[in-house]
Structure 1
Amino acid sequence: MATHRLEIMDTTLRDGEQTSGVSFSASEKLTIAKLLLEELKVDRIEIASARVSEGEFQAVKDITQWSKEYDCIDAIEVLTFVDNGVSLDWMIEAGAKVQNLLTKGSLNHLTHQLKKTPDQHFSEISENIKLANERGIATNIYLEDWSNGMRNSKDYVFEFLEFLATQPVKRIMLPDTLGILTPKESYEFIKEIKDKYPNTHFDFHAHNDYDLGVSNVMEAIKAGANGLHLTINGMGERAGNAPMASTIAVINDFMPDVEINVNEKVLYTVSKLVENFSGVMIPANKPVIGANVFTQTAGIHADGDNKKNLYFSDLLPERFGRTRKYALGKSSGKANIQKNLQELGLQLNDDDLRKVTQRIIELGDKKQVVTKEDLPYIISDVLDRYTHEEKVKVESYVLTHSKGLRPSTTVAMTIEGKTFEENASGDGQFDAFMNAIRNIFKQKNLVLPELIDYAVRIPPGSHSDALCETIITWKNQDKEFKTRGLDSDQTVSAIKATEKMLNIFY
């Protein structure tokens, strides 16, 4: 089968910036442009609309200056308008060499927005292209609202294409401006055009209003489209454009006769940078680049991965510079936990693994997120619980904190099978708790160890809201010792650390 060479044009910096609330600075645009061309290796980038603002002008100037040094000025494109050469003047001053001229691809747009006849429109376009040529500017043509044009005014579209066949145009760009096409239409419309103009370069520009962007792109390629317009993270107006990451994965996995330059290994890196610059968060379940898409949650899946990678597909995370993860929560089985332990270089016997698994399930039932980095702390807490005989048990407590009143605590505690209950106030909830248990132990003529240090932390690198570790240092006569408590609530973790101390002390 003959190889079909496909150009990838990224329009994140132009069409993607039309995402509501997004505006890239000049330095951000330059950084993204460099990554797109040097690292991701797309063929072309559309970086701005002419005449928008002084900031936009400076961004284009910065990128064109860099691109001349990198010898890729022909890959830098700017959206322009049929405006008697005003856009061209702007472009030339900014240093750009390729215009993407916006024209009307439907009779509806031409009649009601421009209020002109096809002949008037074509004449003005011809003048623009002539002027661009005289100034050393290459021209690509956008047929805005082309998809509606093909649906409702096909004769006009082909009249337009007949005119463009007489013009020195490098590419004709076919946008589904309102994202209305079905995959069937995408194929049929482009096939009809390519059959009539087989030697003309046509780009397809998909929007995602019905979540059909990637499907429409696939059909456009099958129909013979020569180029695609994509955006990082699917950014763009309304529901956005066809997303870069998913489209590249689909082409690489399902279209072996299609050749592209894009380096999929850096897709995730570029996506995260654009996420940070734009402030538009990537959905956790976004294919290829979402936080959760290479995370196995169910224990049965982790078990299957241990047994000949039963839950793997061609969509391997390593292709995109990522790694597979095994989530820890209420659906976790032993296999999930073992996978995470292997990454940490830890091993547990079956009994200890069962105890740790149960603790993680308990946290998951509370809707807590547990991470791999939490595991050593959970293991320490769970196994430490079984180190000492549990003679003392805190059965229940009520912690109160009200504005203008001292915090108070009521504690019910079992000591060697006998239950005691006390209430006390303090300077804080934990201080009130300590005063209550001191009152209980006074009844047994015992003085508790002195609390000499109290430290709270979350597991380093965890990025998790699940766990808070409290480490308390106690002094009993001349001996110091530490106990740890682990819980999602700071005060409760301190109470757990204290309960361990009581079982050592008593």
Structure 2
Amino acid sequence: MDTTLRDGEQTSGVSFSPSEKLTIAQLLLTEVKADRIEVASARVSDGEMAAVKAITKWAKASKLLERVEVLTFVDGDVSIQWMQETGAKVMNLLTKGSLNHLTHQLKKKPEQHFADIAEVIAKAKKKGLIVNVYLEDWSNGMRHSRDYVFQYLDFIATQPVKRVMLPDTLGILTPDESYQYLSEIVERYPKLHFDFHAHNDYDLGTANVLEGVKAGVHGIHLTINGMGERAGNAPLASAIAVLNDFMPGVKTSVAEKSLYSVSKLVETFSGIRVPANKPVVGENVFTQTAGIHADGDKKNKLYFSDLMPERFGRQRKYALGKTSGKANIENNLQQLGIRLSEPDLKKVTQKIIELGDKKEMVTQADLPYIISDILDSNTIEQKVHIEDYVLTHAKHLKPSATLRISVHGESYEEHAQGDGQYDAFMNALKKVYKKRKEELPQLTDYTVRIPPGGKTDALCETVITWQVAGQREFKTRGLDSDQTVSAIKATQKMLNLL
């Protein structure tokens, strides 16, 4: 059962609109193919009621109504009436699974609580509702009040409930405890259907789910991106991957290929960013960074595992940075359908290492720009070198530039001001060429761009169009992480072309 829309929405700062809830519910049942979804808590708000009404209307028309569940409370017939008004058919009744909660929160004896539960179940059955029960704080109940837990389960075994849900409410269980407690209960009550609901406070949610399934539980509760209160719930994508790879006798209905796309949708709707290193759905989890790994993949898939990205509708990436090495770059070029000579490949590799040393992020989209810049530079004979420059920009002062340049081995140094840093640089350059009694071409167009998609912070390409008096226009390109520097590089190419 996926409980993103109920327990997942208890993530701090998250509130789905009715239309968002409907969209997620539809995807969970039709694309992800979850068996069941828990979509709301009864009595919470008018918006919650509107969302459940929209979901149940669609689910009924799609013959999926009994796969939509709502959390309800031991409150006589109040939750039952709410259920009827929304059109929902399956109620998950929240009850007390530890003596500590029962004594200090409800201030009741077990027999009183059981009588109240039986009353609600009887009323719900009369209204044609399907009833499941949650044993809130069950994990602490097993640790500290086992007799109460078994007293409760002896009682519930006499009631017309479909499923008994055992939550690790505070995320306190270890894998060993999960297996021990659940296997004991499953063996003791063979006729009951048990669900396990793991929280992730110690980052053991997925491990506990695995142990729960080993112990023989019949259902597991998960959420997209591990959303939920505090540290969240056991994440759907991780748990499904673990079960598929390490529990060969267990089959689930979940479609792995849909997990990444629904993760991104929930990330967008919730506003809660998925960490880049989150297993299965994180942006970096199928990205090799070290060059030795890329080299091993190229030679015999040495760094592949069963956790292949294609299973989840994704593809392997090779990061570009100072640790990349030639193999990473070759893999990226292959994906782009580009082949380079060995000398050019070395130059591209060196450029990427330089950017990595500056802590700049290089993406595959940057590669054509880097290659273009390097191949373009290869065709130009370097007779003019801009050796040093200082650019200043200060409040209430005009931008200025100090430039040292070598032209055919002769060195010049000039200073100038301008309307901007690049304008100041060009004014200093004009002073140099005036001394040489040479005229610079006119700048007629200046374009700045980054690789398509705008997701990179590494590169900026400046394309400048020049007009030489009485001749045709020509363009030069400069590439750098800084816009002004990329323009200066484009200008140096112009000077060498002259």
> What is the TM-score of this pair, normalised by structure 1?
0.97
What residue identity is the alignment partner of 1:495? I
- Report what 2:182 is aligned to: 190
**For the residues of structure 2 that align with 1:472 and 1:176, how far apart are their CA atoms?**
63
1:36-435 → structure 2 map (5 Å cutoff):
36-435=28-427
SS of 1:12's equivalent in the other structure is coil
Residues 173-216 of structure 1 deviation map (CA, whole Å, 9 limit, x = unaligned): 00000000000000000111111111210000000000000111
Deviation for aligned residue 1:390: 1.0
Task: Tell whether 2:492 aligns with 1:499.
Answer: yes
SS of 2:300's equivalent in the other structure is coil
What residue identity is the alignment partner of 2:48? E
| Contact 1:372–1:462 (8 Å) recurs in 2 | no
What is the aligned-residue RMSD (CA, Å)? Answer: 0.7
Residues 158-183 of structure 1 deviation map (CA, whole Å, 9 limit, x = unaligned): 00000001100100000000000000
**For the residues of structure 2 that align with 1:11 and 1:376, how far apart are their CA atoms?**
44
Deviation for aligned residue 1:461: 3.1
**For the residues of structure 2 that align with 1:179 and 1:321, how far apart are their CA atoms?**
31
Residues 345-380 of structure 1 deviation map (CA, whole Å, 9 limit, x = unaligned): 111000000001100110111111111111111011
**For the residues of structure 1 that align with 2:18 and 2:67, how far apart are their CA atoms?**
18
Task: Tell whether 2:456 aligns with 1:454.
Answer: no
What residue identity is the alignment partner of 1:109? H
Deviation for aligned residue 1:462: 5.1
Deviation for aligned residue 1:240: 0.2
| Contact 1:180–1:210 (8 Å) recurs in 2 | yes
Residues 80-110 of structure 1 deviation map (CA, whole Å, 9 limit, x = unaligned): 0000110110011000000000000000000
**For the residues of structure 2 that align with 1:307 and 1:484, how far apart are their CA atoms?**
36
Deviation for aligned residue 1:407: 0.7
Deviation for aligned residue 1:416: 2.0
**For the residues of structure 2 that align with 1:384 and 1:273, how far apart are their CA atoms?**
41
**For the residues of structure 1 that align with 2:490 and 2:295, how far apart are their CA atoms?**
34
| Contact 1:330–1:361 (8 Å) recurs in 2 | yes
What residue identity is the alignment partner of 2:57? Q
**Unaligned residue ranges in structure 2 (runs of 5+):** none
**For the residues of structure 2 that align with 1:461 and 1:371, how far apart are their CA atoms?**
11
Deviation above 4 Å: which 4+ runs of structure 1? none
**For the residues of structure 2 that align with 1:459 and 1:67, how far apart are their CA atoms?**
44
**For the residues of structure 1 that align with 2:237 and 2:113, how far apart are their CA atoms?**
37
Residues 417-470 of structure 1 deviation map (CA, whole Å, 9 limit, x = unaligned): 222110000111100000001101111111111111111111223511111100
Identity %: 69
**For the residues of structure 2 that align with 1:165 and 1:345, how far apart are their CA atoms?**
64
What residue identity is the alignment partner of 2:350? Q
| Contact 1:371–1:462 (8 Å) recurs in 2 | no
Task: Tell whether 2:476 aligns with 1:483.
Answer: yes
Question: Which one of the candidate residues 424, 429, 437 is aligned to 2:429?
Answer: 437
* Total equivalences in the alignment: 497
**For the residues of structure 1 that align with 2:177 and 2:110, how far apart are their CA atoms?**
25
**For the residues of structure 1 that align with 2:214 and 2:363, how far apart are their CA atoms?**
43
**For the residues of structure 1 that align with 2:251 and 2:431, how far apart are their CA atoms?**
78
What residue identity is the alignment partner of 2:197? H
> What is the TM-score of this pair, normalised by structure 2?
0.99
